[in-house]
Amino acid sequence: MVMPTMMKVKADIVKYRLPLKHPIAVNQHSISEREGLILCLQAGDRFGYGDIAPLPGFSRETLKEAEKQLLSFCSAMNAKESLQDIENLSFLQNFSLMPSVSFGIESALWWLKQDHWLPEQPSAPLLQGDIQKIVDRLKHWQGEWPAEFKVKTGRHLRDDDVFRIHQILQILPDSVSIKLDANRQWSFDQACDFAEALKGAIDLQRIAFVEEPTACVDDFTTLYDKTGLRFALDETVQEQGFTVQPMSGLAAIIIKPTLVGGLKRCQALIESARHHGIRAMISSSYESVIGLHILYQLSARWIPEELPGLDTASVFRQKLIIGDISASDAIDFDPTCCERG
């Protein structure tokens, strides 16, 4: 849809707090709830939404810093006369936007223009928690198997990790692979030790890749050359100035828009990865249902051939509630009802 560019746009901010079912370890932080801000844009009878939720332990900015910048942005936006003024690139560039704020603002402006939503892709399921619960889940799996599952690793003893992976692969069809996420937990020697132990237990071709095996990106290619374990970049992609470059053993880049930045930045990374023959996939940072809806839609449009890493909604005790979560008149948010407001 082409919106009238001279239409006035109103901007508001809504805070949210979502308790988790269980505390989650995030880069040596433990969080029991997820806090964030919803940017609400209104132009006539149309609405657009963005989710701004810096992730403790990973985001460079705090929620307080993000809120301060978002308030300044909204104040400037409400003073503008039209959407044309808002979409002027120099207007956005004046704010030197933090990654989470950039993602939220660009998402809300993008949402404002949408006339329809694409069917959401299946997400690559995340297998975490007790191994017996994982095994039970897989044994009772219904429907078609996804091409890949994701498994967190590096949080247990080496033999425990290898055992978990072996148990999972015994249940999965041969056509299904798993992606491992180490979150830089290993030293180089530990990563090599793990890869060699894994090779002794399973066919390494069943491992699509391991995300960020060590804290030093220079180790990754050496690890691949030594063991054959392919890798993906995740935290590295979040670093300022990152550009996609071919590397021996590099299978994919993981793009988390809340941590990487705005839609333009993320789309450019995807196009660059595709140019180099490297897989790219969108992943979540424990956003609310609004953020997840945006990520599903972007993945379906930009990378329909890939399963996004968005299997995180189940960690919350409840859906997003607009307003104070303790208020008796709070209402659930359904993103499909906001297409026309």
Catalytic residues: 150, 256
CB-based contact 224:207 (threshold 8 Å): no
Give the full edge-to-edge strand order of the sheet including 29-43. Answer: 10-26, 29-43, 46-52
Cα→Cα distances 17→14, 25, 256, Å: 10, 18, 20
Give the full edge-to-edge strand order of the sheet including 126-127. Answer: 126-127, 148-152, 177-181, 207-211, 231-233, 250-255, 279-282
Question: Rounded to whole angstroms, how far apart are CA atoms 336 and 340?
Answer: 9
Sign of the torsion formed by the C-alpha atoms of 316, 321, 324 and 327:
negative
DSSP codes joined into one string, 43-72? ETTEEEEEEE---TTT-SS-HHHHHHHHHH
Task: Indicate the SS3 state at residue 158.
Answer: helix
Pairing mode, strands 46-52 and 126-127: unpaired
Half-sphere exposure of residue 198, counting CA atoms within 13 Å on the CB side? 29
Residue reference for tokens 């789309």: 267
Q: Count of CB atoms within 10 A of residue 107's CB?
A: 28
